Amino acid sequence: MTSLPDGKLPNKLLKELLSKLAFDDVHLTVGPAPGEDAAAIDRGDHYLLLAADPITFLPKRIGWYAVQVNANDIAAMGGKPQYFLSTILLPSGQATDEMVREILTDIGSACRELGCLAVGGHTEVTGGIDRPIVAGAMVGEVERERLVTSAGATPGNMVLITKGVAVEATAILAQEKADEIRKEFGDTFLDKASRFLDDPGLSIVPDATAAADAGGVTAMHDVTEGGVATALWELAEASGVGLVVSVSEIPRFWESTQLAEHFHFDLLGAIGSGALVLTVSEPETKGVLESLEEHGVEGFVIGRVTEQDQGVKMLRGQEQVDLPRFPTDEVSRVLATSSAASASSDTSAISGNEES
């Protein structure tokens, strides 16, 4: 029996488990597979898209957050989010009517922002958890000719990313480490980092829509746990290709960089909803970048798709090395290490009192 780290299942284990499932349905065009953002079911002139994601960190606006990340999975397939369902679990002994009212209000607000509908789900107070958890599911659709998966990249394509890395990580740390960040960097810095949920924002719906409108997009993948490095590995493995990306071309926000230096983590492996990784045929790259700009989204060329036997690499100066893998998201690691240190400190204090 092997103990598993926090976060996504290791890709090898996930592939093994999924390979044992039976997919005997001619309408299932894209089924469960590592790196794919949603399932796609053939409905004739369009595909029905289905995605599910939980929120297990401790962000404020957890209901709003759940809608955004599930909508992102639909958008990354080229589709439009339409119907949202949620399972809301509230911790026994802590749940209040105000808590659930706030979560459901935020779900409604996020759905109105995106033009989708909250159509149902389940809510309960339960033991065994110490914080609210929202597990969401989003239903959407996409025209047949606009379907994009993570598996379409081909050698020679350009690799792009929108916005920048660690958007979500910055917002989470601003909440979870507010006192420490305020002490180290000041109120203005903390306020800016806290607003990363909205600016640059977690939604990649405008990003994916603009890219798909331009044409020439061969693959898209939402950046989530494990950051941009994990997203690039997943896209490469789903497509059966190699990649080479330039570290210096990967966009970083100043606030995120400062937090990474302070908390000692790698931005490439930090949870990053808000960024979209995509591959584009080289002749169409300029048009995709222009379409993104017209929609108010910054896009950056960070590399190129290569043959699979060349591996997934990054250029660091003149040196080409393997792109790192992160078995645990870097922000999860920081928060877990902090919690463990705090628990150890508390235990030491208790022991000291007993001895005296």
* pTM for this predicted structure: 0.91
Identify the pLDDT of residue 340: 61
C-alpha span between 354 and 356 (Å, rounded): 5
Q: With beta carbons less than 8 A apart as the criterion, state whether 38 and 50 touch.
A: yes
Identify the pLDDT of residue 25: 82
C-alpha span between 105 and 195 (Å, rounded): 19
- pLDDT of 247-281, one tens digit each? 999 999 999 999 999 999 999 999 999 999 999 99
C-alpha dihedral, 200 to 202 to 206 to 211, nearest 10°: 90
C-alpha span between 275 and 267 (Å, rounded): 13
Identify the pLDDT of residue 10: 81
39-42 sheet: strands from edge to edge? 28-30, 39-42, 46-55, 133-143, 80-91, 117-126
Residue type, 316: R
CA distances to 127, 244, 327 from 101, rounded to whole Å, are: 20, 47, 36
Identify the pLDDT of residue 349: 47
Neighbours of 89 (CB within 10 A): 19
Fold of 24-146: 60s Ribosomal Protein L30; Chain: A; (3.30.1330)
Identify the pLDDT of residue 342: 57
3-state secondary structure of 349: helix
State the alpha helices, DSSP H only, in 42-96. 62-75
| Range 158-330 has CATH code 3.90.650.10 | yes
> What are the sequence ranges of the domains in the chain?
24-146, 158-330
Regions of the chain short of the pLDDT cut 70: 22, 58-59, 339-356
Return phi, psi of residue 332, to 5°: -60, -40
